[in-house]
Structure 1
Amino acid sequence: MVNVKRTIAYHAFFLAFFSLCSGFSSVSGQEGEEVNPKKLFEYHCATCHGEDGNGTKRGHELKVPNLTDPEWQSTKKDEEILNSITNGKNKMPRWSDKLKPVEIRVLAGYVRKLVLKKRP
């Protein structure tokens, strides 16, 4: 019963989150402050993931994924991306100690927008 409630809560959260974040270049945080996902990514993530999501030399040494890879994107659930940012993964630090929940949600949405479009 607890797992069913948890599953429903997760789905409701992600549905609300991605409905809210899709199409916005910045999102309002608490007290009207603007949260710019690109600036957050460049400041906190680009050291390893690169500004475009392809990874840097350091990132490649740490074996970070290419966030622009359509195959990688298709194999990751939204919850996995959010969890990796929140709690860290492998050598990636946990960001829940330094970022607000709204900033983490916005970053997760931004990662989804980094996927390269395949040309026809």
Structure 2
Amino acid sequence: MAQENVPFLIGTADAGAEIAQLRQVLVLVEEIAGRTPARLDDGALDEAARVSAAYGVALPIVQKRFDALAAETATWAAAGVEALMKISADGRPTGPAAGRLADELRKALARLRDIVSA
């Protein structure tokens, strides 16, 4: 498969929405793990707004780094949720795997915030 060079358009990603979507996945995974999920409250909205604002003024290289990590995180998070559903469908316990996925999602969200220093 040939790699295509797609032009990077500065400041076009919705970083806040990406953070909010990953937070929603985190809430779902924490529920599957049997944990009390983090609430999606005003604090989460504020975090998304801060990240979005910081992304908007970040250097293009920082934006590219954020976008790459956000895309990578979304990919493995989706694969993880799919695996949890298969495990559950097989009647096996999902708690430990979901807990590990939740922990990794938290770390990735922190790294994303750190990248744009929000």
The TM-score, its normalising length taken from structure 2, stands at 0.27
Structure with higher Rg: it is 2
Q: TM-score, normalised by structure 1?
A: 0.26
